[in-house]
């Protein structure tokens, strides 16, 4: 297995920038998830690593060689496609065998490797079938088997689970992580699904409009989003954000928001002052809000959604903005239509610069 | 489950249900009538009548009455050396035109299946012969191969006698004309077949380590097999029915070396005024074409992969 590095990589299609100055260093045996909405350039980045697209600028390193001028077939990476891209006219055996045949592995060794991989992925009894005779989950495993059979330097996966149903997806997610640990494989995994990102990767790289927004451990990205895009993209329901003007009340800095004000702690206040901001975006995750009957930001409860293990309470502030509060099932739910107050712990506040979207303070 | 002896009576279709079914059948028959009339008048009746015409031998001089000879004429014509030579010529002609035509069409299709600037112009050029009639193709090639003003003599490629009068080369010359004339259609067919090969399969093969040739052989060609199979069957039928280029370039000559079945039929009917013999030849062509198509379907379709 090997490390993969992108160094100031850009890609333009007919003047449109798909990937903009992307630098990521993926360590050996790391599971990196590249996360972003559709069209953010994540698939393009992956395809450049695979050699299916040529970067307009920058260098790509796999293992210890720069591969910009190396053809896809010689890059020693394996890819799992969203569509699985199984060869429909070949049996499962021939599909898994194909990368080995291309590399002229002797037939005995080839058969042994195919059998071993098929065994480990529970495909042994399907080796003589064609892909059309398999279920979605089985096809997905054949695509995986074809990727792992030749022990490449790195695995590239382009939304490999998005064609599976919810239940199978959750199961396969866990199996993939287990497989990655067992093979000690370097995996670059592209997805738009934040659950996959949070649960599978050692690190998450968040991309938007071709630009890397943040890279870090899933928990860090969740707890300290670098900007508003990341803050709103990761988390379900997403982070509540409210714009407020910066005011000074009795010497202390506060953010004046519809219906009340939120005091800014000293460190935050310093950061806001240093930047000379007169407005900020305050963000609070739904699970960090709680209801209070006497004080806080006034809100009106409109809908209570129960998911069984938790509850999403949707409220409107005085200016009709929507705010979501997430409660445990055991907590007391407010009645729909009632008026209440919302309170957040000071250390649960995220503050962003409204013009740049960047995080302010620690 | 306990066995029950008193099985519930199976309800038969109710009278209204039966009436509705009868009405639907009448409607179905009515809807089929127009197609049956057209096919009957222009396909089935001529076919049967043609078969019947073969039972009558025409006199050597016009004006005398024809007389019924039953299957005698079929036997005489179908065992004649003229007929067997004509079948051989037709088969050789098909063997010369179909594989080479498909190979060339596929080659051009692959060349044009690229994201290059101005590729549309090439696609237009490659497919242009689809708008060229057999007559135009024959005139163009007739001129190219003309011993006085043609391209071949100018290139120093001369034969004696000249190519269209040369028993060894005339059929090849007609075949080349045919390949050129059908190339546009073959190209369009192959290009559309190539469009239907999913890009991600070819990309997967690239990442799997397959080179250009291996991708073509292991992915493109199998995915194209339905298109190629279709082109082989239809192309063979077309080849068996070629007429215009032969009439315009060689009239079946020299020494009957380009006397394919259709031209033989035409010649028998128009020049020799022998409708009985021509009818026998036409029946033979019909069954030969049918047998060929069936044989191809039996032998080749096993290797075709329709799975997607």
Instruction: Tell me the ipTM for this assembly.
Output: 0.84
Distance from CA of B59 to the nearest CA of A (A): 60
DSSP string, A112-180: HHHHHHHHHTT-GGGTTS-GGGS-HHHHHHHHHHHHHTT--SEEEEESTTTTS-HHHHHHHHHHHHHHH
pLDDT for position B11: 62
B210 contacts A102? CB cut-off 8 A: yes
Where does the pLDDT of residue A151 fall: very low under 50, low under 70, confident under 90, or very high at 90 and above? confident
Q: Is there a contact between A57 and A39 (Cβ–Cβ < 8 Å)? A: no
Of A288, A296, A281, A293, the C-alpha closest to A343 is A296
B206 contacts A73? CB cut-off 8 A: yes
Cα-Cα-Cα-Cα dihedral sign, residues A35, A40, A44, A48: negative
- Report the Cα–Cα distance between both ends of chain B, in Å, rounded: 45
pLDDT for position A30: 94
Distance from CA of B173 to the nearest CA of A (A): 39
B306 touches chain A (CB under 8 A): no
pLDDT of residue B168 exceeding 60, the answer is: yes
A83 contacts B223? CB cut-off 8 A: no
Where does the pLDDT of residue A229 fall: very low under 50, low under 70, confident under 90, or very high at 90 and above? very high
A98 contacts B307? CB cut-off 8 A: no
Where does the pLDDT of residue B252 fall: very low under 50, low under 70, confident under 90, or very high at 90 and above? confident
Give the residue on A whose Cα is nearest the Cα of B200.
A85
pLDDT for position A204: 95
Q: Is there a contact between A207 and A213 (Cβ–Cβ < 8 Å)? A: yes
Nearest CB to B207; choose among A79, A88, A131: A79
Average per-residue pLDDT for chain B: 88
Instruction: For residue range A207-225, list pLDDT tens digits in order.
Output: 999 999 999 999 999 999 9
pLDDT for position B35: 95
pLDDT for position B2: 44
The CATH code of domain B82-301 reads: 1.10.3720.10
Mutate to test the interface with A, among B203, B208, B225 (most CBs of A within 10 A): B208
Task: Find all residues with CB under 8 Å of B251, minimum gap 6, and list them.
Answer: B263
Average per-residue pLDDT for chain A: 92
B-chain residues near A62 (CB < 8 A): none
A-chain residues near B307 (CB < 8 A): 88-89, 130-132
Mutate to test the interface with A, among B198, B199, B209, B306 (most CBs of A within 10 A): B209
Where does the pLDDT of residue B3 fall: very low under 50, low under 70, confident under 90, or very high at 90 and above? very low
Instruction: For residue range A59-101, list pLDDT tens digits in order.
Output: 999 998 999 999 998 999 999 999 999 999 999 999 999 999 9
B308 touches chain A (CB under 8 A): yes
**A→B interface, C-beta within 8 Å:** 50-52, 71-75, 77-79, 81, 83, 85, 87-89, 98-99, 102-103, 130-132, 146, 150, 156
pLDDT for position A280: 93
pLDDT for position A225: 95
Structure tokens at B23: 């009405």
Where does the pLDDT of residue B13 fall: very low under 50, low under 70, confident under 90, or very high at 90 and above? low
B211 contacts A73? CB cut-off 8 A: yes
Helix axes B221-240, B170-195, angle to 10 degrees: 140
Bridge partners (DSSP) listed for residue A252: A249
H helices present in chain A, as ranges = 42-50, 92-102, 107-120, 136-148, 166-183, 194-200, 218-223, 228-233, 266-275
pLDDT for position B8: 55
CA distance A87 to A98: 9
Query: Furthest-apart CA pair in chain B: how many Å?
Result: 98
Q: Is there a contact between A9 and A32 (Cβ–Cβ < 8 Å)? A: no
pLDDT of residue B7 exceeding 60, the answer is: no
Instruction: For residue range A13-49, list pLDDT tens digits in order.
Output: 988 999 999 999 999 999 999 999 998 999 999 999 9
pLDDT for position A84: 92
CA distance A237 to A226: 18
Give the residue on B whose Cα is nearest the Cα of A147.
B208
The pair phi, psi for residue A288, each rounded to 5°, is -95, 5
* Number of Cβ atoms within 10 Å of the Cβ of B6: 5
Distance from CA of A87 to the nearest CA of B (A): 7
């Amino acid at each position: 297995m090997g490390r993969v590095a992108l160094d100031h990589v850009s890609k333009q299609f007919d003047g449109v920038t798909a990937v903009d100055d992307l630098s990521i260093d993926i360590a050996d045996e790391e599971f990196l998830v590249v996360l972003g909405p559709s069209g953010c350039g994540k698939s393009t980045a992956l395809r450049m690593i695979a050699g299916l697209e040529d970067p307009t600028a920058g260098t790509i390193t796999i293992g210890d060689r720069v591969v910009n001028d190396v053809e896809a077939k010689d890059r020693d990476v394996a890819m799992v496609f969203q569509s699985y891209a199984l060869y429909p006219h070949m049996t499962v055996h021939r599909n898994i065998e194909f990368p080995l045949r291309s590399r002229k592995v002797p037939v005995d060794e080839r058969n042994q490797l195919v059998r071993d991989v098929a065994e480990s992925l529970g495909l042994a009894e399907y080796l003589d079938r064609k892909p059309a005779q398999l279920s979605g989950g089985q096809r997905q495993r054949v695509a995986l088997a074809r990727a792992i059979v030749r022990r490449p330097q790195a695995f590239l996966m382009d939304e490999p689970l998005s064609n599976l149903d919810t239940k199978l997806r959750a199961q396969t997610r866990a199996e993939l992580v287990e497989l990655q640990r067992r093979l000690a494989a370097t995996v670059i995994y592209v997805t738009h699904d934040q659950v996959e990102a949070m649960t599978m990767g050692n690190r998450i790289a968040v991309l938007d409009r071709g630009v890397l927004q943040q890279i870090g451990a899933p928990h860090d990205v969740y707890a300290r989003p670098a900007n508003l895009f990341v803050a709103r993209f990761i988390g379900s329901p997403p982070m509540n954000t409210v714009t407020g003007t910066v005011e000074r009340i009795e010497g202390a800095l506060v953010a004046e928001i519809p219906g009340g004000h939120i005091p800014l702690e000293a460190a935050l206040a310093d950061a806001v002052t240093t930047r000379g901001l007169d407005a900020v975006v305050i963000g609070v995750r739904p699970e960090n809000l709680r209801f209070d009957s006497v004080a806080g930001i006034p809100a009106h409860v409109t809908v209570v959604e129960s998911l069984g293990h938790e509850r999403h309470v949707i409220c409107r502030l005085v200016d009709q903005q929507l705010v979501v509060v997430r409660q445990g099932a055991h907590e007391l739910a407010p009645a729909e239509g009632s008026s209440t107050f919302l309170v957040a712990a000071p250390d649960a506040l995220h503050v962003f610069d409204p013009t740049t979207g960047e995080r302010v303070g620690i | 489950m306990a066995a029950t002896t008193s099985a519930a009576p199976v309800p038969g279709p109710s009278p209204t249900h039966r009436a509705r079914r009868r009405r639907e059948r009448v409607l179905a028959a009515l809807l089929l009538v127009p197609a049956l009339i057209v096919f009957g008048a222009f396909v089935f009746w001529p076919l049967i009548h043609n078969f019947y015409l073969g039972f009558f031998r025409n006199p050597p001089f016009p004006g005398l009455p024809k007389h019924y000879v039953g299957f005698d004429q079929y036997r005489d014509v179908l065992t004649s050396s003229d007929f067997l030579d004509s079948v051989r010529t037709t088969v050789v002609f098909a063997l010369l035109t179909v594989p080479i035509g498909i190979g060339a069409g596929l080659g051009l299709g692959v060349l044009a299946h690229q994201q290059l600037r101005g590729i549309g112009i090439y696609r237009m050029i490659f497919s242009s012969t689809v708008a060229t009639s057999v007559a135009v193709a024959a005139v163009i090639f007739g001129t190219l191969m003309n011993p006085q003003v043609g391209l071949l003599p100018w290139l120093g490629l001369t034969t004696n006698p000249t190519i269209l009068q040369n028993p060894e080369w005339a059929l090849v010359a007609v075949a080349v004309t045919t390949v050129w004339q059908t190339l546009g259609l073959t190209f369009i067919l192959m290009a559309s077949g190539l469009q239907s090969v999913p890009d991600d399969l070819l990309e997967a093969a690239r990442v799997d380590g397959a080179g250009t040739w291996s991708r073509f052989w292991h992915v493109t060609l199998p995915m194209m097999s339905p298109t190629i199979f279709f082109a082989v069957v239809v192309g063979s039928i077309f080849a068996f029915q070629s007429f215009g280029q032969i009439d315009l370039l060689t009239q079946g000559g020299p020494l009957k070396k380009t006397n394919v079945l259709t031209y033989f039929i035409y010649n028998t009917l128009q020049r020799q005024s022998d409708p009985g013999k021509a009818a026998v030849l036409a029946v033979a062509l019909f069954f030969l074409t049918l047998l060929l198509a069936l044989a191809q379907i039996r032998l080749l379709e096993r290797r075709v992969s329709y799975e997607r």
